[in-house]
Structure 1
Amino acid sequence: MNDRSPLMQLVHTLRAVTVEFDLLGAEFAARHGLHPTDVRALIHLLDAARDDIPATPGWLGRQMRLNSAGTTALVDRLERLELVRRTKDLADRRRVLLEVEEKATELGWSFFGPVITDVMAVAEGFDEGEVETVRSFLAAVLRSSRQARSA
């Protein structure tokens, strides 16, 4: 395919956005004494809370592709930094749930808030159909990326 075709330009723009978000995440991690893995874990936990998914250490380990020892070290570190807390699952007292502390949310918003605000301002200029087209495209890219990663 021609490297300058509109579709390839879309792919290159998506790649550039991905790189920029990755750099932003690394900058956030560095400013707050975190490892990039910590930031990825917090994102997974925030997504789980938003989607009403019970986030257990085992679930987080699968998302992060970490073994049990690595997951325990990660959760211990986030708990020590007061970014995550372990709680008992009220439906199953044998199970531990992970919850993001308000401190983590506040740190995230103080850093990423301006970017989120800018993205939303751009999206507000789109009509409903355009927003749905962008959402659908990004969801398809996400599915493709996840399939490639699990292959």
Structure 2
Amino acid sequence: MVDNSTLVRLLRQLTVETDRFAEIFGERQRMHRTDLNALALIMDARWGGEPMTPGRLAEAMNLSPSATTSVLDRLEASGHVQRARSAQDRRKVELRVNEKALRLGREFFSPLDEAFTEAWAGFSDADKEVVARFLAVSVDATVAVRAALPEQPR
């Protein structure tokens, strides 16, 4: 039987390793970690079917509007993201990941995707359902505890 402290330690180790992997990508692309996080959130919103807006990005990253603008300016200047008017509501600005960013991400992260696929090959679909549920509730618990933290001045 695996105890909770072992699970916490393994999650922490996975977080450290995946963070380091992402940092290497950022170093090679000359991108700050904040920019990488913003890019990930914009891509996740795209895959989730709800386009990211500058306001939602600022809220998700706990950034001021001016700091968010700086991040978006850097991402736009590097060719990773573009700001575009919404087709449904021309007053809204949507953030879109450029093909360049998607291509660079695929090139760098494909070996990790392949290694994960190989590592998970021995798990049944039922096993993967349990792991997915475990990860989802772990994310939810982290978000809930983070949201309950007292605010600190910026």
- Classify the TM-score, shorter chain: over 0.9
CA distance in 1, matches of 2:39, 2:82: 11
TM score, norm. by length of structure 2: 0.91
The superposition leaves residues 80-121 of structure 1 with CA deviations (integer Å, 9 ceiling, x where unpaired) of 000001111011101110000011111111111111111122
Counterpart position of 1:75: 72
Counterpart position of 2:123: 126
Which amino acid in 2 is paired with 1:113? S
How many pairs were matched up?
A: 147
* Larger relative contact order (CA 8 Å, sep ≥ 6): 2
> What value does the CA root-mean-square deviation take over the aligned residues?
1.1
Runs of 5+ in structure 1 lacking a partner? none
Counterpart position of 1:148: 145
Which amino acid in 2 is paired with 1:140? V
SS at match of 2:89: coil
Q: After the TM superposition, which residues 41-56 of structure 1 pair with which residues of structure 2 at under 5 Å, given as runs?
A: 41-56=38-53
CA distance in 1, matches of 2:21, 2:62: 22
In the TM superposition, structure 1's runs of 4+ consecutive aligned residues that sit over 6 Å from their partners are none
2:43·2:97 contact (CA, 8 Å) conserved in 1? yes
2:42·2:51 contact (CA, 8 Å) conserved in 1? no
Runs of 5+ in structure 2 lacking a partner? 149-154
Matched, 1:60 2:57: yes
SS at match of 1:59: helix
TM score, norm. by length of structure 1: 0.93
